[in-house]
Structure 1
Amino acid sequence: MNELETKNTRPLELLAPAGSYEAFKAAVENGADAVYLGGKSFSARASAANFDSEELKKALCYAHERHVKVYVTVNILVADQEFQELLDYLFALHEIGVDAVILQDVGVSDLIHTILPELETHASTQMTVNTSWGVQHLEKLGFCRAVLARETSAAEMKMIADQTPLELEVFVHGALCIGYSGQCLMSSFIGGRSGNRGTCAQPCRMTYQLVNEEKENLLTQKKPGDHLLSPRDLNLAEELAELKKIGIRSLKVEGRMKRPEYVATVIRLYRQALSRIEDQTEGSPLLTKEEHQELLQVFNRDFTSGYFRDNLGAELMSYSRPNNRGTRLGRVARLDSGRLSLKLEAALHPGDGIEFWTGRGREGVTIGKIWSGETEVTEGLHGETVQIEFFGMAQPGDRVFKTNDALLMEKARVSFQEGREQRKRPLSIRLAGHVGEKLRMDVLESERRVTVYSVGVAQIALKRPLTWDYAFQQLGRLGTTPFWLDKLELDVDEGIMLPVSELNEMRRLAVEELLLVTPRPKVERHEYGQRIERWKQRQAEERAGQQTIRSANPQISVAVSDPETLQAAIQAGAKRVLIGGEHWRSRRGFSLEEIRTSFESCRKLGIDCAWRLPRILNQDQSASLLSDLKKAARWAKKPKLMVSNLGELEIMRAVDADWPFEVDYSLNIFNEASLAYFLRQGAKGVTLSPELHHEQLAHLAKWPGVELLAFGDLEMMVSEYCPVGATLGGKKGQHCAGTCVQEPHFLRDRMRYDFPVETDQECRMHLFNVKILNLYEELGQIKRMGISTIRLQLTRQTPGQVQRIVRLFVEAWDSLNEGKRASWTSEEGMADLASLFPDGFTKGHFFRGVL
């Protein structure tokens, strides 16, 4: 059997979320094969209850007794000052038997591969991997599994699965992020709560207006709804057979912030769908109509298949509301004197939560008593008109939705109730022996067999001989253990007797032996300590070795996006330029030939030049980049590249393993470990994460080739969804009228801040901060840190703006570096910059950092 056949025939893993111990039990008892959860530290859902060390041990024991795996999320960017705590935490996780850790930080993954390779690692969707090239690099980092970006299509999943030995995991149900995970800074820069640090405040669920440069609301006539960045919930329950055929290993349900009843219901329904895959005929559903209704009822913002088939545009979105919409219950028939009549389209029970959608908004109530005419009833059924007590505002014809189903919630709660556990495996027992001998009990569980003997010998019964019924009754008392007695074979002399205490002890010993977990290879603490010291020594030596090649002359780096702004930057005195990057639809960008000629011109002028690659590429776009790089490899001199994701690193190496390159900030370099990793890979320079504060930056400035974003547009998110095309121009690639290029667009939030929207040539939406990042006043402090290079990110500015900004920064930086103006002050330059950007500036995280 070849590798692909193995992937396609092995069982799919159903992976459940757990934000609390109750949710964990709900997942296990309803059929999860594995559960992912977070500890109290280093978790990307910091506001979930999460698990302390004792709860984690308890959960592991419970799961492993039931052959369920536990994966712990360590999927945030880790600051240097947190590494000692992280090292202790990782050892503790390995010691208690965690099956794998889920990681975002490249430095942390390299660290684990070096000091604790015994610990299995999974690459989080926060690593923004959506191509076979990216997965290829994850293999080199030592990962066993890749969690693909939610934007990966079925066709792309298959291409990736066909080319990697790694297990692939995909999200199949739950909330969707509108932007690429790991690339979103919106919550971080608006409120200081970083998604990369586990504290996202979900600003995408807030209300926005789409406005133009004159600040007119462009959707006043269409009125799609105000939640322009709020997606529907993902639901791939009917695509499970195809996912298996593709070669996906694990099906991930989102929801560590959800209540246990949600976890219980969704996992139960997905388990039922999985059990039907083999018997499914083409075109037949995996879930019944009633089961689909339960999925809707437990929580939905309406459902979508996401990007599995295509980019759905507006059909991806839940414009009207960002939270649970429930299921259609019926309409208001009439309202009089505290009683409201409902014409039902679904069942209604006391305890249900319902919501009225009125012309004035929405109003929710919990159902008390229900009447049919003057008779109190225990339920109302489809087609009936019933009455409930109601003192709010409603009108005949108002729609009514059920947001909470009391019976469904009770059904879910019972499934994980203490003492009602149902996740059990069958045992087959053979009890045999003769009078005067010890009885032998063979217990078979799946492929495992244990044998135990009675302490005393069997005797002739004086009153009650041992019967099959009696033996089954005693040996079947397995209580809260994960077993139930399925078969019993009794092969003993007739009339034999063994005390009940002996039978119970034999049962106890057998269960105890069955529950023994094969110990994994232990890493002794002193050996772990030695590994850590070697790792620290290597990092210190690398840092010291790099010091010898530190650039003597700090530089200003200017990122531009077309030939006109490149010329403006050079004329203003730029000695280092970054060309390319995203190709905005609002301007012409660089052609491949213009990149070639720009490099030649810069080389003649003694200007350092790098070709910035886009931060997101799909599988087809990766093939296009590979073709371009093959052409560039034939130029007189290969251009230096600036890679923006892990896949580009592999595409570049496929052409030339020694191609000179730098690393952009989109790779989230947040600590020394990740910085050292990329330098070890051969990077000539690294741009640091814009989420670092000045103390962290000063620490990382000890390394050479460090670049800092000091001025320019801060990109909040990048998304396959385009709000302009989806609302004004139809579906992407189908009916889009190119509205985005006709005039500038902005998303206006509830505070009346206008966030600029740019669309690239692949129709991805890039959302920018209202305020420009500006560290001009901090140049003296940055100089004292020893930062090698500061970057001006001027990819959306006009040639005139570029020229003025570059000239101001070059003059100030030269003055600081050459000591010509020891008393340099920033007032005059700041006034000039303020005249260019009336919406004001932000210092980003330079002083405040992130949570």
Structure 2
Amino acid sequence: MKELELLAPAGSLKTLKAVIHAGADAVYLGGSMFGARAYANNFNEEELLEAIRFGHIHGRKIILAVNTLLKEYELGQLYDYLRPYYEAGVDAVIVQDMGVMEFIKTHFPNLPIHTSTQMTITNVEGARLLKEQGVERVVTAREMSLEEIQRIHDEVGVELESFIHGALCYCYSGQCLFSSIIGGRSGNRGRCAQPCRLSYEVLQGEKSLTGHHATPILSLKDMCTLPFLYELADHGVYSFKIEGRMKTPEYAAGVVSIYRKYMDSYLDGSRIPVEKKDIRALLELGNRGGFTNGYYYHHNDSDMLSGESASHNKSEGVLQDNIRREYVDTELKEKIKGKLILNKECPAKIEVQYGKIKVSYQGDMVLVAQNRPLTKEVVTEKITKTGNTPFVFENLEVTMDDDIFMPVNQLNQLRRGALEALEEALLKPYERTLPELVETSSAETDRQTTGNAIKEKQISGQSLSQTSGQQSAGSSTEVRVLIEDAEQLPAVLKADFVDTVYLDCMLYTRENLIHKLSEDIDRVHASGKKVFYVFPFIFRQQTSLFYEKIMPELKKLPLNGIMVRSLDEIAFIKEWGNENWQMVSDSNLYTYSNEAAEYFYRLGMIQDTIPVELNRKEILRRENSRSEMIIYGRLPLMITAQCIHKNMLGCMHQHKVLNLKDRYSVHFPVKNFCSECYNVIYNSLPVCLFKEDVTVKKIAPAAVRLSFTTETEEETEQILTIYGDIYKNGGILGQMPMECTNGHFKRGVE
């Protein structure tokens, strides 16, 4: 029977010790920086080093989460941050940022990398790409089915880690900007404010679908997979991950102990049926509106919603007291064996053994007793008094002369020395040494030099909103327009300043894609513009199979290029696409740093899109000469497998726009994209940076983009006319047809 890993969360040293005591094979945790739970207690350096030592002494793995997106200047801090943990033998790191991944591969070559669920890997192609690049483990998107996981296991052979218990995000992890845009607290930076747990009214036009009252329509129940744990193992999951780095030690240890029971049953082949009392215990430890089995058997399901019980329910009682007594307030000890030899006028000798590790320690000279000789009982008592060490003597064999004497402090030192030597021997195999040639200062200097060079670019010209009759900054950069609705296209084709048109896949159905796309390509080319096809936000197994089937026809179309939005798509295009296509990556393939951008360039991107969470100062610190910048558009806040339209009205396989109305009466448009079965929740206001001409000049992107999502034909034409007047004539910014926002351009995120 194959080995499996039960992976537990820990937000504190106390929790870490408790979950290891309860049976966790590995523990994931966050340090003082770069972890996706910035509001957990987390571990300072001393605590984290102690955690690594504790885990390794007890034969468990410690996995460090470095799974936030890092800004350009922060990469310079990463080396010094990781070095002590690397040298102490931390077993792996979890990463989201591709720049971080490349940095670790370069500077910490023997450190295993696990990709975060924030990377949104949903398919064989993406998993295979990451494995080829040295990733040891892929953490699957929570939305994946058992069938999709099985396929990756069978075709890629990479270690797979999947969530089995705890809170569920409403959005595909890594594809959420909701908390970031409305509150400045970015989930990509570990600071999610959980707006999905709030209540919203759902509107269809003026009609309320929730009876004119708000409901937690975005809040999901907690996941519990205990009833089908064996099926997960059968389908290729290696590491079984429990969510909860912000939970109590009692919660974490209790959940671990119950799952441990059934994992052991799977491993020994008995596969005992799940007992109802264990499900009740899990519910008592904590739940949000009950439990759901997640997405393993369903693409989406209204039964997954928490209903009015959006808060986390838990109770204090006998169960928690028992867990506290058994795992939290007691110490875990490893059983050891010992041999002690005390011969008069010879050095005291002791040998201790744990598993296959055996060490010897020599103490002071054994004396001849003058009055009261030592007894075997006294010697045994002193030597087996292991105190706060991680060991306990299972057996101690004592060989000693009858008429001997040693002071108690020497016996204590003999014990301490032996146990310290054993601990050192246990930890030694984990320790690493970094090559001397790795230097942080030069790397940091290079980054600062690059950032300063960009920052100091001087480009003449005045603000778009202030100049008149003078050509704007946009005239020296390519102008691109993305559309999601067919009625927007005529206005775009009339705008002679537009160089490239992005035709979003949302414009088409699977049935009419080739035919309609071909017609639209011809129309765009007839207007003298280039045309790119925009792939979906999510590229699941069925989507991959569909595109694989139509790819021969798609490659024949006279596209100038494509836009990709996931690693799955990049890998797919590299395998199946047209080698002449130019590839551009969208803003959700995050390039906070130059290193991250370089990663995508090496994969074949001609350009990336500047992340929308960076502010103007941070954008100026990165190299933008190969980047596109969104200067207008309603930003997607969430990409979700759940369908609000289906959950409210049933599935009709038709594109509709609903609205979420929050407690401040702000409306967030929601589109259901039926071909790929996901929803897009957009911001209430579009970003508009038309007034920021001076800064955009300094940023000097290769291209600027206007994205049209929910705009009508009239609104599209108005906005293009306003921008066109500025672009062509340096005119004053006209009255926009709707209220707009600067997004993060000025404020950014922490």
- Does the pair score TM above 0.5? yes
Distance across 2 between alignment mates of 1:324 and 1:752: 26
Distance across 2 between alignment mates of 1:780 and 1:813: 13
* Equivalent position to 1:565, from 473, 484, 488: 488
The structural deviation recorded for 1:166 is 3.0
The structural deviation recorded for 1:466 is 5.6
* Equivalent position to 1:771, from 685, 691, 706: 685
Residues 562, 579 of structure 1: 8 Å contact kept: no
Distance across 2 between alignment mates of 1:767 and 1:21: 38
The alignment partner of 1:842 has SS state of coil
* Equivalent position to 1:414, from 316, 320, 325: 325
Distance across 1 between alignment mates of 2:372 and 2:333: 35
Superposition pairs of residues 63-212 of structure 1, within 5 angstroms:
63-212=55-204
The structural deviation recorded for 1:263 is 1.6
Who is 2:710 aligned against? 796
Does the alignment pair 1:704 with 2:625? yes
Structure 2 CA distance for partners of 1:88 and 1:429, relative to 1, 3 Å: closer
Residues 573, 807 of structure 1: 8 Å contact kept: no
The alignment partner of 1:632 has SS state of helix
The structural deviation recorded for 1:789 is 1.5
Q: Residue 321 of structure 2 aligns to which amino acid in structure 1? A: E
The structural deviation recorded for 1:43 is 1.9
Unpaired stretches in structure 2, ≥5 consecutive residues: 456-472
Who is 1:311 aligned against? 299
Structure 2 CA distance for partners of 1:785 and 1:638, relative to 1, 3 Å: closer
1:73-124 CA-partner distances (Å, limit 9, x unpaired)? 2211111232322332233432443322221111121122122223332211
Distance across 1 between alignment mates of 2:224 and 2:748: 36
Distance across 1 between alignment mates of 2:541 and 2:595: 29
Residues 125, 181 of structure 1: 8 Å contact kept: yes
The structural deviation recorded for 1:478 is 2.0
Q: Residue 406 of structure 1 aligns to which amino acid in structure 2? A: G
Who is 2:358 aligned against? 449
1:317-339 CA-partner distances (Å, limit 9, x unpaired)? 1011211234xxxxxxxxxxxxx
Residues 539, 676 of structure 1: 8 Å contact kept: no
Distance across 1 between alignment mates of 2:516 and 2:507: 16
The structural deviation recorded for 1:60 is 2.3
Residues 460, 497 of structure 1: 8 Å contact kept: yes
Superposition pairs of residues 373-412 of structure 1, within 5 angstroms:
404-412=315-323
Who is 2:387 aligned against? 479
The structural deviation recorded for 1:531 is 7.3
Distance across 1 between alignment mates of 2:558 and 2:225: 48
1:233-252 CA-partner distances (Å, limit 9, x unpaired)? 01112333223233322221
Structure 2 CA distance for partners of 1:572 and 1:624, relative to 1, 3 Å: same
The alignment partner of 2:506 has SS state of coil
Residues 708, 716 of structure 2: 8 Å contact kept: yes
Q: Residue 510 of structure 1 aligns to which amino acid in structure 2? A: A
* Equivalent position to 1:520, from 431, 444, 459: 431
Superposition pairs of residues 521-536 of structure 1, within 5 angstroms:
521-523=432-434, 527-529=438-440, 532=443
Residues 585, 605 of structure 2: 8 Å contact kept: yes
Who is 1:268 aligned against? 257
Residues 664, 686 of structure 1: 8 Å contact kept: yes
* Equivalent position to 2:667, from 735, 754, 757: 754
The structural deviation recorded for 1:521 is 3.1
Who is 2:458 aligned against? none
The alignment partner of 1:508 has SS state of helix
Who is 2:276 aligned against? 289
Structure 2 CA distance for partners of 1:624 and 1:812, relative to 1, 3 Å: same
Distance across 2 between alignment mates of 1:19 and 1:713: 36
Distance across 2 between alignment mates of 1:556 and 1:152: 37
Structure 2 CA distance for partners of 1:34 and 1:493, relative to 1, 3 Å: closer
Residues 170, 248 of structure 1: 8 Å contact kept: yes
Residues 128, 156 of structure 2: 8 Å contact kept: yes
Q: Residue 586 of structure 2 aligns to which amino acid in structure 1? A: D
* Equivalent position to 2:28, from 22, 30, 36: 36
Distance across 1 between alignment mates of 2:597 and 2:640: 27
The structural deviation recorded for 1:637 is 5.0
Distance across 2 between alignment mates of 1:754 and 1:434: 85
Distance across 1 between alignment mates of 2:628 and 2:724: 16
Who is 1:217 aligned against? 208
The structural deviation recorded for 1:59 is 2.3
The structural deviation recorded for 1:19 is 1.9
Percent identity of the aligned residues? Answer: 31
The structural deviation recorded for 1:153 is 1.3
Q: What's the RMSD between the two structures over aligned residues?
A: 3.3
Who is 2:478 aligned against? 555
Who is 2:498 aligned against? 575
The structural deviation recorded for 1:189 is 1.1
Residues 9, 244 of structure 2: 8 Å contact kept: yes
Q: Residue 709 of structure 1 aligns to which amino acid in structure 2? A: I
The alignment partner of 1:44 has SS state of coil
The structural deviation recorded for 1:759 is 0.4
Distance across 2 between alignment mates of 1:72 and 1:34: 11
The alignment partner of 1:583 has SS state of helix
The alignment partner of 2:394 has SS state of strand
Q: Residue 178 of structure 1 aligns to which amino acid in structure 2? A: Y
The structural deviation recorded for 1:503 is 5.3
1:397-432 CA-partner distances (Å, limit 9, x unpaired)? xxxxxxx223333333334556x30x2222233456
Q: Residue 30 of structure 1 aligns to which amino acid in structure 2? A: A
Q: Residue 711 of structure 2 aligns to which amino acid in structure 1? A: Q
Residues 140, 161 of structure 2: 8 Å contact kept: yes
Distance across 1 between alignment mates of 2:691 and 2:554: 40
Residues 428, 445 of structure 1: 8 Å contact kept: yes
Q: Mean alpha-carbon deviation: is it higher for 52-61 or for 430-439?
A: 430-439
1:623-680 CA-partner distances (Å, limit 9, x unpaired)? 22233334333x2756411111111111111125664211111112222221222223
Structure 2 CA distance for partners of 1:525 and 1:496, relative to 1, 3 Å: same
Distance across 2 between alignment mates of 1:698 and 1:523: 33
Residues 582, 760 of structure 1: 8 Å contact kept: no
Structure 2 CA distance for partners of 1:756 and 1:300, relative to 1, 3 Å: same
Residues 115, 532 of structure 1: 8 Å contact kept: no
Residues 183, 717 of structure 1: 8 Å contact kept: yes
Who is 2:417 aligned against? 509
The structural deviation recorded for 1:493 is 7.5
Query: 1 or 2 for the larger relative contact order (CA 8 Å, sep ≥6)?
Result: 2
Please report the TM-score for the alignment, with normalisation by the length of structure 2.
0.88
| Count of aligned positions | 727
1:310-356 CA-partner distances (Å, limit 9, x unpaired)? 13511111011211234xxxxxxxxxxxxxxxxxxxxxxxxxxxxxx
Unpaired stretches in structure 1, ≥5 consecutive residues: 1-7, 327-403, 545-549, 730-735, 816-820
The structural deviation recorded for 1:138 is 2.0
Does the alignment pair 1:641 with 2:562? yes
Structure 2 CA distance for partners of 1:539 and 1:622, relative to 1, 3 Å: farther
Distance across 2 between alignment mates of 1:805 and 1:475: 83
The alignment partner of 2:233 has SS state of helix
The alignment partner of 1:650 has SS state of helix
Who is 2:747 aligned against? 848
Who is 1:425 aligned against? 334
Q: Residue 415 of structure 2 aligns to which amino acid in structure 1? A: R
The structural deviation recorded for 1:597 is 4.3
The structural deviation recorded for 1:494 is 8.4
Who is 2:463 aligned against? none
The alignment partner of 2:704 has SS state of strand
Distance across 1 between alignment mates of 2:523 and 2:300: 43
The alignment partner of 1:771 has SS state of coil
Residues 556, 810 of structure 1: 8 Å contact kept: no
Larger Rg: 1
